[in-house]
Chains A and B, each alone.
Chain A
Amino acid sequence: DAGVTQSPTHLIKTRGQHVTLRCSPISGHKSVSWYQQVLGQGPQFIFQYYEKEERGRGNFPDRFSARQFPNYSSELNVNALLLGDSALYLCASSSGSSGNTIYFGEGSWLTVV
């Protein structure tokens, strides 16, 4: 079975541009979460979606948005990119039930120049 898949794996953007990152969860998982991991830090929670509804949001500006599609895949969008948005963006997949294990993809490395 495929794990959590993310695309693209690496990308370079210019300040002010927009970026879209994509994620496909593990088959059967209905919850997708997004995390940002800057160098030397642990992942920080951005969004959680379950059954296409936003179920949680971390402390990130409105430039960050996401959505989940009927097939449970998800997109993370970031507008007006700043240099500080350079990070590894991780997608996590779970069944969505309380206490279930959470699995991560390999991430999308975003560099803003």
Chain B
Amino acid sequence: QKEVEQDPGPLSVPEGAIVSLNCTYSNSAFQYFMWYRQYSRKGPELLMYTYSSGNKEDGRFTAQVDKSSKYISLFIRDSQPSDSATYLCGIDSGYSTLTFGKGTMLLVSP
């Protein structure tokens, strides 16, 4: 079992849809949870950072963590074509090193 599992997609949605992206993890030592957006042939861009169970909102983005289920989510409201990218969940056990899922490719059509 991989430490971080993420459905690679692609996930195709129409513009304006609510998008749900998910990761599961197996290591209870994981404490800090980050979501990155990566456009084709670019470096990952930090979108959200959380460290506790619950929700954190920033504009159209909401990150949700459920430590009891080892499940994290990123919701994107009012999705735009510019949101088309690969979304990576990166999890830190506390030593500033990240374990990533494979990434989910999101395609938002106009």
- Complex Cα spacing A107 to B49, Å: 21
Q: With A42-B88, A107-B43 in contact, is A101–B101 under 8 Å at CB?
A: no
Closest A-chain residue to B96, C-beta based?
A94
Chain B positions near chain A (C-beta within 8 angstroms): 4, 6, 8, 31-32, 34, 36, 41-46, 49, 51, 88, 90, 92, 94-103
Contact of B43 among A33, A40, A44, A104 (CB under 8 A): A104
A selection of 30 A-B contacts at a CB cut-off of 8 Å is A6-B43, A33-B98, A35-B98, A41-B102, A42-B6, A42-B88, A42-B102, A42-B103, A43-B90, A43-B100, A48-B95, A88-B41, A92-B98, A97-B96, A98-B94, A98-B95, A98-B96, A99-B31, A99-B32, A102-B34, A102-B46, A102-B90, A102-B92, A102-B96, A102-B98, A103-B46, A104-B45, A104-B46, A106-B42, A107-B42
Chain A positions near chain B (C-beta within 8 angstroms): 4, 6, 31, 33, 35, 40-45, 48, 50, 55-56, 58, 88, 90, 92, 94, 96-107, 109
